[in-house]
Structure 1
Amino acid sequence: MTHPVRFTAAITREGQWYVARCLEVEVASQGESLDQALDNLREALELYFEDVDLTELPVTPILAPVTVELPQP
């Protein structure tokens, strides 16, 4: 039996690829489109959790913006 669990994905564009990273666990995937990257991440997460003890699921991170001062290029 399965049940849905929501995770947080951070997606960046790297060249021709979209890279989707799960923030709760160290799983990432990529695709040629945003939707493909998310679909591939979903599949990678399902495979990852096949071998993980599910008694304690990862905690959702607190997301907060951070501003830093950087030198001018």
Structure 2
Amino acid sequence: MMYRIPLVFTPQAEGGYTVTSPALPELITEGDTLEEAQANVQDASDAVLEIYTEQNRPLPLGIALPTGEVVWSDALVGNL
């Protein structure tokens, strides 16, 4: 199944980015660059979705997409 998960990339004062999701509060990851942070999102989201499955918790409404739908991510990144 495909998911559309909103992400927030927050620049850190010491460098790098922290990534969180308002839809999945358990999703927290980081990276030294935007590219690294984006790459780390896949592992973090897989882990969070696995927790939801193992605990038989319903996923937040609206993140599951019908099969075959194209998914992309938009990111707004601001300065501190």
- State the distance in 2 between where 1:51 and 1:19 align: 21
Tell me which structure has the larger Cα radius of gyration.
Answer: 1
Q: TM-score, normalised by structure 2?
A: 0.61
Deviation at 1:52, TM superposition (A): 1.2
| Structure 1: gaps (5+ residues) | 61-73
| Structure 2: gaps (5+ residues) | 63-80
Residue equivalent to 1:7: 5
RMSD value, Cα:
1.8
Residue equivalent to 2:21: 22
Which ranges of 4 or more aligned residues in structure 1 deviate by more than 2 Å?
Answer: 53-56
Deviation at 1:51, TM superposition (A): 2.2
Higher relative contact order, chain-length normalized (CA < 8 Å, sep 6+): 2
State the identity %. 19
Deviation at 1:55, TM superposition (A): 6.7
Q: TM-score, normalised by structure 1?
A: 0.66
